């Protein structure tokens, strides 16, 4: 099946697409709510704005594409991020660094649980909520949770004095 046939046969579903050159080298990984509409837009919309030169160069090299279906847009976002970090395609620039989307971590086994920010999920028995995209939504949620539930925010639970958060009414004072 040639490239145009593959593009026409793409599903109207969320997922991740991978553009490859004639040698099979990976050029670009992207995500889409509708794979068909997003991939077709590369070949029909020629107004790429500030990125026109880079996108035109990439489009001239695309000889093949693959796709992976996902259950929803968030799953596509996470899969895209992980694939870019693993495969490091030439034309993906923004997500190639080692940043990971943040999670909120809560370890109920701690004698005085605290909400913490984590960039990786560890197999440590704690509960992880997220990922949060953009990260600002996580910080807003943490502020709301800390106002609603006065969990500890200090790290020193064996301190000799109560923390500032306790005196402000935002901590139960296990320190």
Whole-angstrom distance, CA of residue 63 vs CA of residue 52: 19
Residue, of 96 and 4, whose pLDDT is higher: 4
Per the prediction, the chain carries an average pLDDT of: 85
Q: Tell me what the mean pLDDT of segment 30-56 comes to.
A: 82
Whole-angstrom distance, CA of residue 43 vs CA of residue 49: 15
Using an 8 Å Cβ cutoff, are 109 and 141 in contact? Answer: no
Residue, of 96 and 75, whose pLDDT is higher: 75
Whole-angstrom distance, CA of residue 138 vs CA of residue 143: 9
Burial letters 34-56, b for 16+ CB under 10 A, else e: bbbebbeebeeeeeeeeeeeebe
pTM for the full model? 0.59
Angle at 119 between CA 118 and CA 122, to 5 degrees: 70
Q: Tell me what the mean pLDDT of segment 24-35 comes to.
A: 95
Residue 43 clears pLDDT 70, i.e. is over it: yes
The reported pLDDT for the residue numbered 95 is 46
Beta strands 127-129 and 115-118: pairing type? unpaired
Band of the pLDDT at 34, cuts 50, 70, 90?
very high
Q: Which CATH superfamily is domain 3-96 in?
A: GIY-YIG endonuclease (3.40.1440.10)
Q: Please tell me whether residue 114 adopts helix, strand or coil conformation.
A: coil
Sign of the torsion formed by the C-alpha atoms of 100, 102, 108 and 111: positive
Residue 42 clears pLDDT 80, i.e. is over it: yes
Residue 15 clears pLDDT 50, i.e. is over it: yes
Q: Please tell me whether residue 155 adopts helix, strand or coil conformation.
A: coil
Model confidence over 84-119: pLDDT tens digits? 888 989 888 754 445 678 899 998 888 888 888 988
Segments making up each domain of the chain, as ranges: 3-96, 103-167
């Amino acid at each position: 099946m040639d490239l145009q046939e593959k593009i026409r046969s793409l599903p109207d579903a969320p997922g991740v697409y991978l553009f490859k050159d004639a040698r099979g080298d990976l050029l670009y990984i992207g995500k889409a709510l509708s794979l068909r509409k997003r991939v077709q837009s590369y070949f029909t919309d020629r107004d790429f704005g500030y990125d026109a030169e880079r996108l035109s160069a990439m489009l001239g090299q695309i000889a093949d594409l693959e796709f992976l279906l996902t259950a929803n847009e968030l799953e596509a976002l996470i899969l895209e991020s992980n694939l870019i970090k693993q495969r490091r395609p030439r034309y993906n620039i923004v997500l190639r660094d080692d940043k990971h989307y943040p999670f909120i971590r809560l370890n109920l086994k701690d004698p005085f649980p605290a909400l913490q920010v984590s960039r990786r999920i560890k197999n440590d028995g704690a509960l992880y909520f997220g990922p949060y995209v953009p990260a600002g939504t996580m910080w807003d949620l943490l502020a709301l949770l800390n106002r609603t539930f006065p969990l500890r925010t200090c790290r020193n639970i064996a301190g000799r004095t109560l923390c500032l958060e306790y005196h402000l009414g935002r901590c139960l004072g296990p320190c």
